[in-house]
Amino acid sequence: MKVQLSRELALDVAAIVGPAVVSSLAMLIPIENFLSKYPFGVQYAWYYPWRGMFVALLLWIFSGATYSEKRYFLKKVFLGSSAAFVTFHYSQLWVVSRYVRVQLMPLFYLVGEHSPFFLDMGLVVLILTLLAFRKEVSTPSSQERRSESRGVVVGGWREIVLYALTIVGLLVFLLSLRFVLSTPVPLAVVSSWSMEPVLHVGDVVVVAGGNSYTLGDIVIYERGGELIVHRIVLSVNGKYVTKGDANPQADNIVLGKDAIYGKVQIVIPYIGALKLIFYKG
């Protein structure tokens, strides 16, 4: 009996601590170079915790999508990877704050001047993890206890319908974004280092069209068949010159208002890195 308990305890510890160990080891691997469309010329300090965060996010998504009552070990991995993700996420923000101002807000944060709203993924992951464990921390109702005693699965078909409606709703939402935000490119993934330390490889930017733009706005336009996300550094009579924050020189192109797809309003960090694994365009 003691041997069995010791084995279960060791597995629990491994499941919870393991993601942090694996994510910490990942800090030694330049993952961002594999994801970026262009090689990094400089080693940025904030990418060390970013690497650990990225691996923790992969573990969190995988374990969250595959755990079940029969695979309860994965739910503990889910818990451990969420703790690792949150730790690396705020560690990265702390490192970035040494180079540019970071202002934390409820569910969002700002980075630097003229900043779009960054979704605080640390809070998002924490909230979703707590919701996944709500059954463990809440007392079941008398109806739930009766259903469990009879071996009845309550709400099975309702969950299927809910998932189906969620998927349909998400597709409709994505298709309607270009009309709601008045731009042909409502979403884009950052695939280079040119906007460091504000935007990182794998950030998803939400873009909204506008009638005019001002100095400091981060905008998106197309050049040579690829999307560019840079900051306006010069504005004269409706003409704009842009520059990547990390680039030594401004872009050698003058943009009219119609050439700009829109201004970056919201940034969803990290998520786009999943797309860059397969495609960097």
User: pLDDT tens, 71-124?
Assistant: 778 888 999 999 999 999 999 999 999 999 999 999 999 999 999 999 999 999
Rounded Cα gap, residues 272 and 279, in angstroms: 10
CATH T-level assignment (fold) for domain 187-276: Umud Fragment, subunit A (2.10.109)
CA distances from 58 to 3, 31, 77, 170 (A): 33, 13, 11, 22
User: pLDDT tens, 136-154?
Assistant: 655 454 444 444 444 444 4
Q: What pLDDT, on a 0 to 100 scale, did the predictor assign at position 25?
A: 96
Q: What pLDDT, on a 0 to 100 scale, did the predictor assign at position 146?
A: 45
User: pLDDT tens, 238-273?
Assistant: 899 999 999 999 999 999 989 999 999 999 999 999
CA distances from 271 to 122, 194, 201, 267 (A): 12, 18, 10, 10
Domain chopping of the chain, boundaries: 2-138, 142-180, 187-276
User: pLDDT tens, 175-232?
Assistant: 677 787 888 889 999 999 999 999 999 999 999 998 889 999 999 999 988 999 999 9
Q: What pLDDT, on a 0 to 100 scale, did the predictor assign at position 71?
A: 76
